[in-house]
Amino acid sequence: MSTATLTKTIPVARPFIGREEEAAVLEVLRSGWVSQGPRVAEFERRFAEYVGAAHAIAVSSCTTALHLALVTAGVGPGDEVLCPTLSFIATANSIRYAAAAPVFVDVDPATYNMDPACIEAAITPRTRAILIVHQIGLPAAISEICEIASRYGLAVIEDAACAIGSEYQGRRIGQPHTLMACFSFHPRKILTTGEGGMITTADEKLADRIRKLRQHAMSVSDLTRHSSSQIVTESYPEVGFNYRMTDMQAALGLVQLQRLDDMIARRRYLAARYSEALAQFEWLLPPVEPSGSRHNFQSYMVRLADSAPLSRDQLMQEMLDRGISTRRGIMAIHRESPYSDRRPTSYFPETESVTDNCIILPLFHTMTEEEQDCVIDCIRQLSQP
């Protein structure tokens, strides 16, 4: 199929919102309870069941989830937290919110996740935790990282923003691989509530404290007070935050959760179709899926080899001119102004290479094979001299 037949832009991502989601939100609107309430509680229960966690706590975003996870893990002023510099800036921002300092670690050149071999050199007496990222949905090397963390007495928290439905060693991300895992429901993610996030943990005390902290540290939730037949007066024993999810968002999430396995299956099918078709181009390196990991393909990212006929930015612009949206690969946080002071004299070679040479191709649940063929055909045309 020729790209000349394309009459509208193919987006890099598109959230799937159907009539069921519309009906669920309308039901909440008509109920009169639109803030954090019974739908949020139900969404938490269903989410915990899906990933296999003892506790799930809904919050306003994955960024706020990471902040609460770090705070409840004991991270505070003067502490250092290891994290990959190859990640969305929210990973480092959440560490700063906890008044700690991010210490960046380079990535594995194959998986683009934090390289366990680079971790020990970054540990100092101030290191309190390791914040690992399951980049674009591919699980990081959890076992290796946790083994290192255990030897140094460090907490491990997962930035699982992109990893809903992904699996590591036969278990879904969000089960008790680590102390806590944090998820995102942004529209670019597979399951969306518009904005929103979730924290999962096996620790009941941590879960209880997080539930309070997300609501100004209120000792009794709104739902409990309004459901009580007795007068309930709440207290505020510590400084908390307004990180609540609304029942409108939770209603979306409940419907999306029912679709999740089908959406992931479709994405995996399209990803496999991409990989098969793009294998003809030696200058494009497809994503990998290591043994023991199951990728949800929240995004499909390819890497340009040195032999590529165009630069990364030239390729993106040429595709956009033909009606196909792409995105640059994962950002390097240490290049951004707020974190430029965290870059040592020895920079991060793998991160720099990935950031400069990777491109995210369109992939979404409702993408048709015809649309995907347009993307593939466009790359074929641009690969010709």
Burial of residue 96, with CB atoms counted within 10 A of its CB: 0-12 exposed, 13-18 middle, 19 or more buried: middle
**Following CA atoms 305, 308, 311, 314 in sequence, which dihedral angle do they give, to the nearest 10 degrees?**
-140
- Single out the catalytic residue among 8, 189, 205, 212: 189
Residues whose CB falls within 8 Å of the CB of residue 335, separated by 6 or more in sequence, listed in order: 355
The span from the CA of 255 to the CA of 325, in Å, is 28
Is residue 205 among the annotated active site residues?
no
DSSP string of 273-315, one letter each residue:
HHHHHHTT-TTEEPP---TTEE---SSEEEEE-TT-SS-HHHH
- Strands 80-84 and 127-133 come out as parallel
The span from the CA of 307 to the CA of 326, in Å, is 20
The span from the CA of 337 to the CA of 345, in Å, is 16
Q: What does the radius of gyration of the chain's CA atoms come to, in whole angstroms?
A: 22
Which of 90, 91, 66, 88 minimizes the C-alpha distance to 180?
A: 66
Q: What are phi and psi of 196, to 5 degrees?
A: 145, 165
Active site residues: 189
